[in-house]
Structure 1
Amino acid sequence: MLVLLPPSEGKASGGRGAPLEPESLSLPGLAAAREAVLTELVELCAGDEDKAREVLGLSEGLRGEVAKNAGLRTAGTRPAGEVYTGVLYDALDLASLDTAARRRAARSLLVFSGLWGAVRVTDRIPSYRCSMGVRLPGLGALSAHWRTPMASVLPEAAGDGLVLDLRSAAYAAVWKPKGEVAGRTATVRVLHAPTRKVVSHFNKATKGRIVRSLLSDGAVPKDPAGLVEALRDLGYVVEAEPPARAGRPWALDVLVTEIH
């Protein structure tokens, strides 16, 4: 099972590990694309601070993020699973998982990123600020920059099992499973049962809890139908129908009655 996650806008700072070693990151097929983004981002943020803030879409209160980006090559690192914070990651709470569940997380979780493309939760990275919506002066739109290398690397990373796609729209657009991989991909929408509306906060929190439940249980569904069964066994209310045509992802609705 491969679980595709969005990053978080907020990130933990103060990594105590050794500086970034780009060659140590997972998915080495993304290395050249990562280096291109990293080089331009560091140069941008080491220059005109106001221009960097404008390019990155940062408010005056986030001015310090520019200096953080300028020092990415020498900053301390920590595992990506500790760097990413926010609602989904708080609910997932990787640090409190037992040893076996953490091993499953290391194998199955892939976090998408405007800077790194995608990383495993065990990859050591510094804290940074660079969303997928950024358009760098030299490289242009990061979403377009990542599409070609992702199309080359991600099908292999997907292996031959279930792909659980929990990414937000900006990150989902960077790589869309196709063909046989799409047929074993499931997307999840979390709905407030009485209104059948998506509410951002508990949508993210529920997705984090879903991943935690699967990791803790040791469930390894092989396909979307198996995922539906596993989630129902774990107590989730799931609505799902097979796609009308082969080679299309399944769309699952998880219904939640309480917002928390």
Structure 2
Amino acid sequence: MLVLLPPSETKRVGGDGPPLHLPDIAHHAELGEVRSELVGEVVKLAADLPASRAALDVSERQDDEIARNAQLYDSPTMPALDRYTGVLYDALDARSFSRAVSSRARSRLAVGSALFGLVRADDPIPAYRLSAGSKLPGSGTLASRWRPVLDPLLARIAGGELVVDLRSGGYAALGRVPGAVTVNVLAERPDGSRSVVSHHNKSHKGGLARLLATSRAEPSDAAAVARIARRAGLTVERPEPGHLDLVLPA
């Protein structure tokens, strides 16, 4: 099973790994060319602060993130799962994995990235700023550049193992996963009506990712994923094949 996560806008800075070496990142044969092009463009763009702010949709107060983009080739790296921070990754809490489950858990986790396409948990990456909706000057959308290489890669992965796709819409658009299990987080009100959870959505998906990554079970379909969640006390429904609703009291 592969649990596919969205990245986070916020990232831990620093690291003690060597500078970026793209062949060290998983799936380099399929994704290396686009990765190299994007890294080069982002580094070059960082020399123009106004253009970078516009492309990355950041303010002057975030110029330190542009400065980090300028140093992508030279700054230290750390494992991707440790690099990303924020609500989902706080709930996942990968740093607390016991030694007994860490290897299995980290082998099951991957992140969809606007800059690198797809990274595995232990891939060494630097801090960077590039979102799925970023618009680099003189080029098409990031989806138009990633899908020709990500679509076939993700289809091949999905042909060999179950993929639980927890990415948000913008990142899911970078590469489609045929047959993936997808998840909505819904709040149920006292009157029985439901609404999509927005503010705490990432936290609950991070908790679900932790359950799946650390489980001894090897689920092969949505029903098996639902069973893992239910054993942990979660309320999960299957409104349609390949899709789960995680239902929370409002």
Shorter-chain TM-score category?
A: over 0.9
Partner deviation per Cα, 1:174-210 (whole Å, 9 max, x = no partner): 22223xxx1xx21111111225222323211111111
| Cα distance between partner residues in 2 of 1:79 and 1:132 | 21
| Cα distance between partner residues in 2 of 1:76 and 1:191 | 39
Once the two structures are TM-superposed, the CA of residue 52 in structure 1 deviates from its matched residue by: 1.1
| Cα distance between partner residues in 1 of 2:154 and 2:129 | 23
Root mean square deviation of aligned Cα:
1.4
User: 1:118-157 alignment to 2 at 5 Å?
Assistant: 118-157=118-157
Question: Is the contact made by 1:40 and 1:138 (CA closer than 8 Å) also made in structure 2?
Answer: no
Instruction: Give TM-score scaled by structure 2 length.
Output: 0.93
Aligned to 1:247: none
| Cα distance between partner residues in 2 of 1:199 and 1:22 | 37
Aligned to 2:45: 44
Question: Is the contact made by 2:182 and 2:244 (CA closer than 8 Å) also made in structure 1?
Answer: yes
2:245 aligned with 1:253: yes
Q: What secondary structure does 1:208 align onto?
A: helix
| Cα distance between partner residues in 2 of 1:41 and 1:68 | 10
Once the two structures are TM-superposed, the CA of residue 253 in structure 1 deviates from its matched residue by: 0.6
Question: Is the contact made by 2:19 and 2:74 (CA closer than 8 Å) also made in structure 1?
Answer: yes
Once the two structures are TM-superposed, the CA of residue 233 in structure 1 deviates from its matched residue by: 1.7
Aligned to 2:112: 112
Once the two structures are TM-superposed, the CA of residue 255 in structure 1 deviates from its matched residue by: 0.9
Alignment identity in percent? 43
Aligned to 1:246: none
Distance 1:101 1:126, change over 3 A: same
Q: Which runs of 5+ in 2 are unaligned?
A: none
Once the two structures are TM-superposed, the CA of residue 159 in structure 1 deviates from its matched residue by: 4.4
Q: What secondary structure does 1:14 align onto?
A: coil
Partner deviation per Cα, 1:227-246 (whole Å, 9 max, x = no partner): 12222122110111443xxx
Aligned to 2:210: 212
2:23 aligned with 1:23: yes
Q: Which runs of 5+ in 1 are unaligned?
A: 244-249
Question: Is the contact made by 2:154 and 2:176 (CA closer than 8 Å) also made in structure 1?
Answer: no
| Cα distance between partner residues in 2 of 1:4 and 1:216 | 14
Aligned to 1:80: 80
Partner deviation per Cα, 1:45-94 (whole Å, 9 max, x = no partner): 1x221111111111121111111100100001110111100100000000
Question: Is the contact made by 1:98 and 1:216 (CA closer than 8 Å) also made in structure 2?
Answer: no
| Cα distance between partner residues in 2 of 1:120 and 1:107 | 8
Q: What secondary structure does 2:18 align onto?
A: coil
Residue type of the alignment partner of 1:49: L
Which of 182, 186, 189 in structure 2 is aligned with 1:187?
182
Aligned to 1:100: 100
| Cα distance between partner residues in 2 of 1:121 and 1:51 | 32
Question: Is the contact made by 2:110 and 2:119 (CA closer than 8 Å) also made in structure 1?
Answer: yes
Partner deviation per Cα, 1:106-161 (whole Å, 9 max, x = no partner): 22111011100110110010000000111211332111110001022112233423
Question: Is the contact made by 2:3 and 2:212 (CA closer than 8 Å) also made in structure 1?
Answer: no
Question: Is the contact made by 1:3 and 1:109 (CA closer than 8 Å) also made in structure 2?
Answer: yes
Question: Is the contact made by 2:3 and 2:213 (CA closer than 8 Å) also made in structure 1?
Answer: no
Over 6 Å off, 4+ runs: none
| Cα distance between partner residues in 1 of 2:239 and 2:140 | 39
